[in-house]
Structure 1
């Protein structure tokens, strides 16, 4: 029979989860509507029906809250590509072009996320490497899964003789560096967000073309 102490612990844990869920929902609603820079933690707390001091008991900063919430968007892209790759018939992953197309299509999807939320995507790319908290670093965990997916595609191409690649992780890192640079460059140069997917694919195609046997 559960003790009163365990019941109280369970209730506190449920309350904590419910409060965190309200906080994340409020942050997404406000940041997606107004932008990261404009929204204050006071406004987020009010939308979540809690005090600002209570907000900071759940998250270290507004940035950590943003990285966590926007990370969900990134995670959905990762999950979608992992599932699409898992569902791909073996006979459709033959030859250099098929392998490289898988990488390009993965970045097409990531680029489409940027075109939907240019300012938020820019903030996520710019800030996700600068936090050391567990919440903030969750975005790096999604990136690790992303890298693992792309590495598995290129490793398969190398194993089947379709691709000539010596250092698969380095190739993947370079691909992502191109994506990050395009996001940062687009913001700095005020380039049209809608054109980023085209620019990105052109650069990635050029970077990967030498891998084809």
Structure 2
């Protein structure tokens, strides 16, 4: 009798890839339909005008079933935003030009995020209101997982340019990454809140980030004191 592929895998000592059960597949398919329906309706009608009943109808499920996946419309907003912004962020970091100055790299990343929000400003305003002060703690991990992607991406940019731009080596890169994103986020709130135009927002953002980058530059690099310190470190 011919051996099955699964039997050959077991004999080779390779653990088989676990199959997703029908129940799990059905749950994922329903979640995908729910998020797609919410995304389409938010874009077409606006967040405030869309009801959970309409989302359930568009997803072809009952309202009770919808609430098993998301308790509120705000939950759905964050769930839709979470996946899209993670992909937006990852794509932005992948497209960064490594040979450009750090300030240009940061602006490339943040400009991608700005373009994402600019597609639907009313929806962006609703989103920022919700994630700035979460109304439900259940969504905290969604926001945290997105922040981990952004903070680690910025920290990687800092690490890659540390020697090239003579950045200080005594700085916690993840904390510096949080600072850079904080500058962007506060400026973003000002723009979405109507306190400034997009053009002025982007212009001032670059200036603010430049000041922050200047604070990371090692001013002692190349000085006699720095050379003496390096020699002492080699002797030790």
Deviation at 1:138, TM superposition (A): 1.7
Q: 1:111 aligns with which of 111, 114, 121?
A: 114
Q: Does the 8 A contact of 1:179 with 1:200 survive in 2?
A: yes
Q: State whether structure 2 residue 161 is matched by structure 1 residue 140.
A: no
Per the alignment, residue 186 of structure 1 pairs with 191
SS at match of 1:162: coil
Unaligned runs of 5+ in 1: 1-8
Alignment TM-score, normalising by the size of structure 1: 0.79
Give the structure, 1 or 2, with the largest relative contact order (CA under 8 Å, sep 6 or more).
1
Per the alignment, residue 173 of structure 2 pairs with 168
Q: Does the 8 A contact of 1:108 with 1:201 survive in 2?
A: no
What RMSD over aligned residues (CA atoms) do the two structures have, in Å?
2.5
* Distance change >3 Å, CA 22–CA 65, structure 1 → 2: same
Q: Deviations over 1:29-78 (max 9, x none)?
A: 00112222221111111111122111001222211111111122211222
Q: Deviations over 1:16-39 (max 9, x none)?
A: 222211111100000112222221
Of 37-46 and 189-198, more deviation after overlay is shown by 189-198
Q: Does the 8 A contact of 1:68 with 1:139 survive in 2?
A: no
Per the alignment, residue 127 of structure 2 pairs with 124
For residues 26-175 of structure 1, the aligned pairs below 5 Å read 26-85=37-96, 92=99, 98-129=101-132, 130=134, 131-133=136-138, 137-160=141-164, 162-164=166-168, 166-175=171-180
* Distance change >3 Å, CA 160–CA 183, structure 1 → 2: closer
Deviation at 1:136, TM superposition (A): 5.5
* Distance change >3 Å, CA 208–CA 137, structure 1 → 2: same
Deviation at 1:187, TM superposition (A): 3.2
Deviation at 1:194, TM superposition (A): 5.7
SS at match of 1:211: coil
Deviation at 1:195, TM superposition (A): 4.8
Deviation at 1:182, TM superposition (A): 1.7
